[in-house]
Amino acid sequence: MTFFRPPEAVTGLLALLRLLPRVSRPKAALGVLGVLLSSVLPVAVGVATGALIGAIPAAVRGGAYSPHRRTLLALLVVVGALVMLDRIVSPLLRTLAETLGRQVDRYLQERVMAAVGRPATVAHLEDSEVLARLRVVRGLGTADSDRPGLAVEAMAAVLPSWLRALGAAAVLLAFHPAVGLLWLVVWPAVVHVMQREYLRVGQVGFGQSDALRRAEYLRDLAITAPAAKEIRIWGMLDWLLGRYRSAWRAAVEPIWRQRRPRRGAVLGTTGTIVAVNALSYGLLVWAAVRGDLGLAALAVYTQALGMANSYTAFDDHNAILSFAAVTVPKVLDLDDRLTPGPDAAGAVPEAAEAAPDAAGKPVRALPAEFPARRIRAEGVRFRYPGAAEDALRDLDLTIDAGKSLAVVGENGAGKTSLVKLVCGLYRPTAGRISVDGHDLADLGPAVWRSRVSALFQDFTRYHLSAADNVGMGAPELATDRARLRAAAERAGALPLIEGLPRGWDTILSPEYAGGVDLSGGQWQRVAMARAFFAVEAGARVLILDEPTAALDVRAEAELYERFLDLTAGLTTILVSHRFSTVRLADRIIVLHRGAVVEDGTHSELMALDGRYATMFRLQAARFVDGGPPTGPDQRPVLLSAPGATSGAGESGGEHA
């Protein structure tokens, strides 16, 4: 029967209970002890108080020195001791639950971070279902009650109340078996119904995740730095507030309508409790009037009925327990969902030397000189999740090791898509990419990426120290200042970093005390230093996606002059609109609608007089008046592709 199927809140509660020992075994053990004491002590106080009340008449009749008086004093001491112990245990349990709840939040956040970072590719970050789950587990629901740690605090209040009520119902069995059994059955049924109602209410907003994310995005635009300048220059604030208000109402009004409590559930449960209480107290009064109960028994059963009503089902703690405990299985499910199975990345050929990766899957071990010969794309087709068309179509390409390859083409031609596939950030929809005959799908992410370094146009500006910003290129060597300096010098960033207020320890963000902001070109130098730091650590494949997009004229000229030296001995893949740098590559390919349409050296492609030659002449024509600036070999420097800007590449016309 559906009624007896464990509700999702119970499943979440059990998952949370199993999780607690992993978070802190000592605190979990103390919590169990605290819950038991908080459950037993009030019942013991009630029984002892009833006995105390019942002993008063005999003690009064017996006088000051009678055995009844001594019994009364002993019961008074027992009641006082139990009450004091209960008053001590309860706040300690609450404090312990708050501490353990914060640890649970931290633990689950770490599980989320590890789960999201575990997949070899980044396609899951564009999966709306994964994003919806992430929104829940990050505590970004419609109320703070979604936070899993609050369920631990709620348990410290709810579980003792449940156990106390069950204990009280057991005491009532001695008064009237039917009454005791009625309480033992009714309260679990009422809690079950109310937990299902809380769960229904709490899950109403899950289907609105996309709409809520849009509203939160508009909110964050108004309160964070990236859009602040344009909001003020273009007077966008009123427009932004209006759009936020409309998006928020569109997201939450359906939730408000569906979250109205169902009359049947509320009236049915409250009516049942009122009826059971009326029956219980009526029988108790009737038994007392008839003389079937003595004073002590009447006092004990009256307090037992009071404690039976502490079996809460309608308070905030129960609602929080239902909402937050459900989040725990969602985190664990997300962890399982993003953990690749043993065959997720393909089988490992028998000839491979195998070693387990972080997920326990065998991966191919590679020699220290890998890659030694070539990277190949064979019949590669690729489409982004949810996209209507392929970004790459039947692409065949061989990249020789130790050589430089430039990739050019119009925005949306597939240039950035190609380098993302080479990095292993996405898997081809069809075909394969191999390195020295080894399919990238057979290699663990760490194996291949330890040999790859990349500078993407949309590189991340970490609000961390300059040392951390560069050192992330090879975290295992991030404390090696000599290597950091070498990488920064190679990228032309050393004078910039050492001129900062605190040098390498300066936080690169004005949002922190003592932190500084950098210009776009300065940030690009730091990002380039990060890429070269990975090269210092052993990477032999260097991917440069618009490496000079944000550099000024002098900085780009310096990079142009040093390009051959900077990339000597590396397998370099250069994506750029700047033909001054492109023409230096050993080989150039032109992409059009996801396929290679031209392939050769600069001279060969100019002689072909095709797309490359047309783009080159269009770019050079911008400098006809007065002649273009030239480098040492009289080649033009700092030419921009038609429509390109110094701060934007193809990510605007192609999936970023």
| Dihedral pair phi/psi, residue 198, rounded to 5° | -60, -40
Q: What tokens does 604 get?
A: 């060969």
Phi, psi of 381 (to 5 degrees): -125, 140
Q: Region 500-507: what's the mean pLDDT?
A: 94
CB 305 within 8 A of CB 173: no
CA distance 427 to 638: 35
Question: Quick check: 445 pLDDT over 80?
Answer: no
Pick the residue with more confidence: 264 or 256?
A: 264
Q: Is the pLDDT of residue 30 over 90?
A: yes
Q: Over 70: is that where the pLDDT of 296 sits?
A: yes
Comparing 324 with 425, the larger pLDDT belongs to: 425
| pLDDT tens sequence across 433-444 | 998 888 888 876
Q: What is the pLDDT of residue 203?
A: 56
Q: What is the largest CA-CA distance in the chain?
A: 124
Could you tell me which of 492, 589, 477 has the C-alpha nearest to residue 534? 477
* pLDDT at residue 2, rounded to an integer: 39
| Statement: residue 387 has pLDDT above 70 | yes
**Residue 465 forms beta bridges with which residues?**
507
Q: What is the pLDDT of residue 503?
A: 94
Q: What is the pTM of this model?
A: 0.65
Q: Which amino acid is at 481?
A: R
pLDDT band at 569 (very low <50, low <70, confident <90, very high): confident
What's the CA gap between 257 and 261, in Å, rounded?
A: 10
- How far is the C-alpha of 85 from the C-alpha of 24, rounded, in Å? 25
- Of the candidate CATH numbers 1.10.1740.10, 3.40.50.300, 3.40.309.10, 3.90.1640.30, the domain formed by 462-532 belongs to 3.40.50.300
Report the Cα 392 to chain-centroid distance in Å: 30
Give the tens place of pLDDT for each residue, 85-109: 988 998 899 899 989 988 888 888 8
Q: Which residues face 439 on adjacent strands?
A: 434
Write the secondary structure of 481-540 as one string of H (helix), E (strand) and C (coil): HHHHHHHHHHHCCHHHHHCCCCHHHCECCCCCCCCCCCCHHHHHHHHHHHHHHHHHCCCC
Of the ranges 41-45, 199-203, 357-361, 598-602, the best mean pLDDT one:
598-602
Of 108, 103, 150, the closest CA to residue 133 belongs to 108
Give CA 562 to chain center in angstroms: 41
Amino acid 311: pLDDT: 65
Q: Are 409 and 415 in contact (CB under 8 A)?
A: yes
Average pLDDT over residues 602-623: 88
The set of long-range contacts for 579-583, using a CB threshold of 8 Å and a minimum separation of 24, is 579/408, 579/615, 579/616, 579/619, 579/620, 579/636, 579/639, 579/641, 580/556, 580/631, 580/635, 580/636, 580/637, 580/638, 580/639, 581/406, 581/547, 581/548, 582/406, 582/408, 583/406, 583/616, 583/635
**Cβ neighbours, 10 Å, residue 325:** 27
Q: What is the DSSP letter of 655?
A: -
Neighbours of 234 (CB within 10 A): 9
Residue ranges of alpha helices (H) inside 63-147 are 67-117, 128-137
3-state helix/strand/coil string of 626-645: CCCCECCCCCECCCCCCCCE
pLDDT value at residue 415: 92
pLDDT on residue 656: 30
Q: Is the pLDDT of residue 635 over 70?
A: no
* More confident site: 433 or 210: 433
Given a contact cutoff of 8 angstroms between Cβ atoms, the answer to whether 323 and 331 are in contact is no
Same fold, 8-205+264-337 and 462-532: no
Q: How far apart are CA 466 and CA 504, in angstroms?
A: 5
> How many Å apart are CA 580 and CA 124, to the nearest integer?
37
pLDDT of residue 649: 37
How are beta strands 571-575 and 362-364 bridged, if at all? unpaired
Domain boundaries, the chain: 8-205+264-337, 374-451+540-652, 462-532
Residue-by-residue DSSP string for 432-484: EEEETTEEGGGS-HHHHHTTEEEE-TT----SSBHHHHHHTTSGGGTT-HHHH
Task: Calculate mean pLDDT across residues 292-313.
Answer: 79
Average pLDDT over residues 505-513: 89
Q: Which amino acid is at 597?
A: V
Sheet strand arrangement including 595-600: 452-455, 541-545, 571-575, 404-409, 587-592, 595-600
Q: Is the pLDDT of residue 39 over 50?
A: yes
Identify the residue whose tokens are 């380039």.
528
Comparing 167-171, 310-314, 413-417, which segment has the lowest mean pLDDT?
A: 310-314
Q: Residue 122: which of 445, 534, 542, 450 has the closest Cα?
A: 445
Measured in degrees and rounded to the nearest 5, phi and psi for residue 358 equal -65, -25
Q: What is the pLDDT of residues 536-564, one digit of tens each?
A: 888 889 998 888 777 777 777 777 677 77
Domain covering 374-451+540-652 in this structure, CATH number: 3.40.50.300
pLDDT at site 606 = 94
Higher pLDDT, 405 or 105: 405
DSSP, collapsed to helix, strand or coil, labels residue 378 as strand
Phi, psi dihedrals of residue 365, rounded to the nearest 5°: -85, 145
Closest CA to 544 of 560, 287, 552, 554: 560
Cβ within 8 Å of residue 369, ≥6 positions away: none
User: pLDDT at residue 515 above 50?
Assistant: yes
Mean predicted confidence (pLDDT) in 582-611: 92
Pairing of strands 374-382, 541-545: unpaired
In 3D space, the residue among 527, 526, 539, 525 whose CA is nearest the CA of residue 573 turns out to be 539
DSSP labels for 6-23? PPHHHHHHHHHHHHHHHH
Task: Reply yes or no on whether the pLDDT at 82 is more than 80.
Answer: yes
Contacts of 440 (CB under 8 A, 6+ apart): 424, 432, 433, 434, 448
pLDDT of residue 34: 92
At 301, which helix (H) or strand (E)? Answer: helix 295-308
Confidence of residue 17 (pLDDT cuts 50, 70, 90): confident
Lowest mean pLDDT among 207-221, 492-506, 591-605: 207-221
Instruction: Choose the most confident range, by mean pLDDT, from 62-66, 204-208, 309-313, 340-344.
Output: 62-66
pLDDT > 70 in the chain, percent? 79
Q: Tell which wins on pLDDT, 137 or 161.
A: 161
pLDDT digit string, tens, across residues 450-494: 888 998 888 888 889 999 999 988 888 888 999 999 999 998 899
- pLDDT number for residue 598: 95
Q: What pLDDT, on the 0 to 100 scale, is given for residue 651?
A: 37
DSSP single-letter state for residue 206: G
CATH class in words for 8-205+264-337: mainly alpha
pLDDT for 254 beyond 80: no
The pLDDT assigned to 495 comes to 94
